Amino acid sequence: MSSDDPTDVPVPSDRRDAVREKAQQLQAKQSRARLLGRASLIIGVVAVVAVAAVVVSWAFSSASSQPVLQPVSGSGDGFAVTSVAGVTTSVGGGAPAADETPTPTPTPAPAEATAEATPAPTATRGMVDIRVYVDYLSVGSKEFQAANVQQLAKWVGQDAATLTYYPVAMLSAKSNGTKYSLRAASAAACVATHAPDTFFAYNNALLAGQPDVDSDGPTDQDLATLAIASGISSDKAKDVQKCIEDEAYAVWARNATDRALDGLPDTDDISLTGTPTVLVNGTPYVGALDDPKEFAQFVLTIASDSYYSTPTPTPSVSPTATPTPSS
């Protein structure tokens, strides 16, 4: 058979079809590879996101399960002054203290009244309750402390008044991001917890050395140094320093501020709107912050009103036994 037989010669159209089919197969293969790669990438991203979500969720749940450290406080979120040692002069050159002591003097009893009918006022009955909500970056808080520190110390020392400070952090955004108000409130709580006898002195020192608004303010190390310089004994200094530098009560201070903004305890629907907020037997003081005589008069008035509003006990009269005549 001749090699020129036309049946052995490929038809051009068949060749084109074969090439086209191979191209389609290659394209399909590449498409499948791209799809697989894209699916693998998506799966990888989803896996990473899922792992990240689990880690974040664990972190939040772990943090929320840990209790917020609570400072030792005998009055809600406040710290009662138990000692006025180390404070002998007013901060910032304040005015001299007023001579008055907030112990009301009762009107002499009528001549016909018996001694039992009008009991003499005791230190407890004449004592007034003074509460001060203080932000350590508040200029007003510094002014009030400077003007009244001497007479506050005197009243506490004479058992004529109880004095409680409530550190809050309303001005944390006013210190270039360092949250000085929050850190100072936490530091005050550290001292009140570990060295309560020096709390009044440290509170006074914080206000005396108050930084400017919109400045960085002292560091945690500076706050710890100031605390130790306020008279903390050597056996407590290490605990106080660590507490302050760890900002151990920062979360508590933030929560305490929120609670005060919601409402002040033992008041007639009074909420914290600014610092200082000073309450005397639950009544807000609205006078001049830098006038110790005006504040002393306010305290005397509240103390007197409180004394005379206390019901006077009615003396009981014992019946006299009638003697029985002897037979």
- List strands edge to edge, sheet with 161-167: 79-80, 161-167, 128-134, 277-280, 283-284
Tell whether the model's pLDDT for residue 24 goes beyond 90.
no
Tell whether the model's pLDDT for residue 51 goes beyond 50.
yes
Strands 79-80 and 277-280: unpaired
Task: Report the range of poorest mean pLDDT among 9-23, 54-68, 77-91, 117-131.
Answer: 54-68
Question: Is the pLDDT higher at 314 or at 229?
Answer: 229
Residue where the block lists tokens 């006022």: 121
pTM: 0.69
* Pair 161, 128: CB distance under 8 Å: yes
At 155, phi and psi to the nearest 5? -65, -45
Percentage with pLDDT > 90 across the chain: 56
Residue 133, beta-bridge partner list: 166, 277
Tell whether the model's pLDDT for residue 221 goes beyond 70.
yes
Instruction: Give the per-residue pLDDT at 239.
Output: 97
Q: What is the residue extent of each domain of the chain?
A: 24-65, 79-101+125-309
* Pair 120, 103: CB distance under 8 Å: no
Q: Is the dihedral of CA 295, 208, 194, 88 positive or negative?
A: negative
Q: Does domain 79-101+125-309 have CATH number 3.30.230.10?
A: no
Q: How far apart are CA 214 and CA 182, in angstroms?
A: 14
Our CA dihedral for 188, 194, 199, 201, rounded to 10 degrees, sits at -100
Instruction: Give the per-residue pLDDT at 92.
Output: 46
Task: Report the range of poorest mean pLDDT among 95-99, 135-139, 216-220, 296-300.
Answer: 95-99
Q: What is the pLDDT of residues 196-217, one digit of tens each?
A: 999 999 999 999 999 999 999 9
- The residue-averaged pLDDT of 123-152 equals 91
For the chain, the average pLDDT equals 79
Instruction: Give the per-residue pLDDT at 321.
Output: 44
